[in-house]
């Protein structure tokens, strides 16, 4: 059993790593954009503690630094990657969102990696490895149809995949009430998938719930749908702050006239 102090150290490291990224962004030292996971660290740390990097596979999304660090502990590789440097985990070509190392994969195209995670679960089942394929997705990704195709197949074929929905109540910057209808947990249940819903950022509670989910997948080979309610605490990407200023300025500009058109 991992000691709570270890959890907090890991969470604190992820937090400070990303605060450093934001500082570097301000200094113009990052290439492209960067989405931070600030406020959600407990989820990555609590869930990933149950997964073995040499056995299990993790799939993440545009907000992947916390998952990456919790799974690989490769801070130097990630920092170089986001700075566009050669020693980066993908040679500095993937940037913040497109990482690939060992059994870790991330992709910035929302939803695109959910069927990949499901396919890997199928491969693991066929090879009888006992491995769990875990995919992290956000509430805003539940508008992507391919997510439901994946839930359907995972349930129908009883695949060892853990779907972790990180519900931070925004699709990046759009409030959930403008992007999401109905219940998130009911989406998993509708496909006959075992579901649990958490409303906490307490890493120990998340760890307990994730442990139950992973054990169940390993024992039964069936998928599981874990919904975690959390708050994202920081400006999520510096480019968005810049974008907000641009939008404000455009909003204040005079409307086009028929003559001008
Ligand atoms: C297919 C696709 N459409 C649109 C986008 C642009 N986009 C990036 S993040 C995002 C919202 C993501 O919301 P959510 O899944 O809740 O993750 P969060 O940013 O809240 O962590 C959108 C629409 C994208 N990356 N991919
Ligand atoms: Mg979200």
pLDDT of residue 238: 46
In a domain, 258, yes or no: no
Rounded distance from Cα 237 to ligand 1 centre (Å): 12
Report the nearest atom of ligand 1 relative to the CA of 139.
16
Domain of 232, in residue numbers: 4-252
pLDDT of residue 205: 97
Select from 96, 106, 110, 233 the residue to mutate for testing ligand 1; criterion: most ligand atoms less than 8 Å from CB: 110
CA distance 49 to 144: 28
List residues, by chain if needed, whose CB lies under 5 Å from ion ligand 2.
138-140, 168, 170
In a domain, 261, yes or no: no
User: Between 228 and 254, where is the model more confident?
Assistant: 228
Q: Tell me the whole-structure pTM to 2 decimals.
A: 0.91
Q: Counting ligands in written order, which one lies closest to the CA of residue 144?
A: 1
Q: Is the pLDDT of residue 240 over 70?
A: no
pLDDT by residue (tens digit) across 201-220?
999 999 999 999 999 999 99
Determine the average pLDDT of the residues in 5-25.
93
- Report how many domains make up the chain: 1
64 in Cβ contact with 95 (< 8 Å): no
pLDDT by residue (tens digit) across 136-177?
999 999 999 999 999 999 999 999 999 999 999 999 889 999
Rounded distance from Cα 251 to ligand 1 centre (Å): 23
In a domain, 22, yes or no: yes
Rounded distance from Cα 126 to ligand 2 centre (Å): 33
In a domain, 128, yes or no: yes
pLDDT of residue 256: 59
Protein residues with CB under 6 Å of any ligand 1 atom: 62-63, 108-110, 138-141, 168, 170-172
Residue nearest to atom 19 of ligand 1 (CA): 172
CATH number for the domain including 37? 3.40.50.970
Which residues, other chains included, contact 177 with Cβ-Cβ below 8 Å and sequence gap of 6+?
Answer: none
Report the nearest atom of ligand 1 relative to the CA of 167.
16
In a domain, 257, yes or no: no
Q: Is the pLDDT of residue 235 over 90?
A: no
In a domain, 259, yes or no: no
Q: Is the pLDDT of residue 239 over 50?
A: no
In a domain, 95, yes or no: yes
In a domain, 24, yes or no: yes
């Amino acid at each position: 059993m991992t000691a709570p102090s270890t959890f907090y150290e890991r969470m604190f490291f992820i937090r400070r790593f990303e605060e450093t990224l934001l500082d570097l962004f301000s200094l113009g030292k990052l290439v492209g954009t960067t989405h931070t996971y600030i406020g959600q660290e407990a989820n990555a740390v609590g869930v990933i503690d149950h997964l073995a990097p040499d056995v299990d596979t993790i799939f993440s999304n545009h907000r992947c630094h916390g998952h990456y660090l919790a799974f690989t502990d490769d801070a130097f590789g990630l920092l170089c990657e986001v700075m566009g440097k050669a020693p980066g985990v993908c040679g500095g070509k993937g940037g913040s969102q497109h990482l690939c190392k060992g059994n870790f994969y991330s992709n910035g195209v929302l939803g695109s990696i959910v069927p990949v995670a499901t396919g890997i679960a199928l491969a693991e089942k066929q090879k009888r490895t006992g491995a769990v394929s875990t995919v992290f997705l956000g509430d805003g990704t539940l508008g992507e149809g391919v997510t439901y195709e994946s839930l359907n197949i995972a349930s129908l074929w009883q695949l060892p995949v853990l779907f972790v929905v990180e519900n931070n109540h925004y699709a990046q910057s759009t409030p959930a009430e403008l992007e999401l209808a109905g219940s998130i947990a009911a989406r998993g249940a509708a496909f006959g998938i075992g579901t649990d819903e958490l409303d906490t950022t307490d890493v120990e509670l998340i760890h307990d719930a994730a442990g139950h989910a992973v054990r169940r997948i390993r024992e039964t080979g069936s998928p599981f749908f874990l919904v975690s309610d959390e708050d994202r605490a920081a400006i999520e990407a510096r480019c968005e702050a810049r974008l907000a200023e641009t939008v404000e300025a455009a909003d204040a500009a005079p409307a086009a006239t028929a003559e001008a058109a």
